[in-house]
């Protein structure tokens, strides 16, 4: 897939990025005939990323549309939480799901961790550092994209999704 200048794309763990430029790099070591995207992460102002247009190592895709974002949120009830035989296997599932940079996969992680957090708090236990870390990564990745797609602040997305999960868990 080829992107154009000013397109908003998801670039792996960097999240949503704006394509600033498409050009050959004038940097030592860069191939003379190879085109590169110059990307600016939307939520990391001042950061610039250079990546080959034909990069196959990092997932690059267009940001979901407004319709796709609403459709994804509407699917929350149908998304099953992750299950594994132990915490180590569950952590591996978190990594795999988040690494796909896909909305449904991120929601699986978020839903699982929201449910675990609620359960632990009801038992009078604290949320583990590992769970907090993966929840943060999944939320940042997905909520950043939903924020752009729905033209809403990230905090509002977090509130919207959190409220929706809470309502479903209490039923």
Please report which confidence band the pLDDT of residue 171 belongs to, taking 50, 70 and 90 as the band edges: low
Q: Which fold has domain 66-169?
A: Methane Monooxygenase Hydroxylase; Chain G, domain 1 (1.20.58)
Please report which confidence band the pLDDT of residue 25 belongs to, taking 50, 70 and 90 as the band edges: confident
Phi-psi region of 124 (alpha: psi -120 to 50; beta: other; left: phi over 0): left
Please report which confidence band the pLDDT of residue 29 belongs to, taking 50, 70 and 90 as the band edges: low
Q: H helices within 5-82, ranges in order?
A: 66-74
Please report which confidence band the pLDDT of residue 76 belongs to, taking 50, 70 and 90 as the band edges: confident
Mean pLDDT of all residues in 35-50: 94
pLDDT for 51 beyond 60: yes
Q: Give the C-alpha separation, 93 to 83, whole Å.
A: 9
Query: How many C-alpha atoms does 77 have within 13 Å on its Cβ side?
Result: 6
162: nearest Cα among 107, 82, 97:
107
pTM (predicted TM-score):
0.88
Would you list the domain boundaries of the chain? 8-62, 66-169
């Amino acid at each position: 897939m080829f992107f154009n200048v000013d397109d908003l794309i998801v670039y792996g763990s960097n999240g949503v990025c704006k394509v600033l430029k498409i050009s050959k790099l004038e940097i030592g070591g860069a191939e003379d005939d190879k085109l590169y995207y110059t990307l600016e992460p939307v939520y990391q102002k001042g950061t610039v990323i250079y990546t080959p247009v034909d990069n196959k190592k990092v997932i690059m895709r267009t940001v979901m549309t407004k319709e796709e974002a609403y459709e994804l949120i509407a699917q929350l009830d149908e998304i099953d939480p992750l299950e594994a035989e132990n915490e180590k296997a569950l952590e591996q599932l978190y990594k795999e799901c988040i690494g796909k940079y896909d909305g449904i996969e991120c929601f699986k992680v978020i839903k699982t961790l929201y449910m675990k957090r609620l359960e632990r708090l009801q038992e009078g236990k604290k949320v583990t550092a590992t769970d907090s870390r993966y929840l943060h990564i999944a939320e940042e990745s997905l909520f950043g994209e939903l924020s752009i797609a729905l033209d809403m602040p990230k905090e509002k997305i977090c509130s919207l999704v959190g409220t929706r999960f809470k309502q479903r868990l209490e039923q």
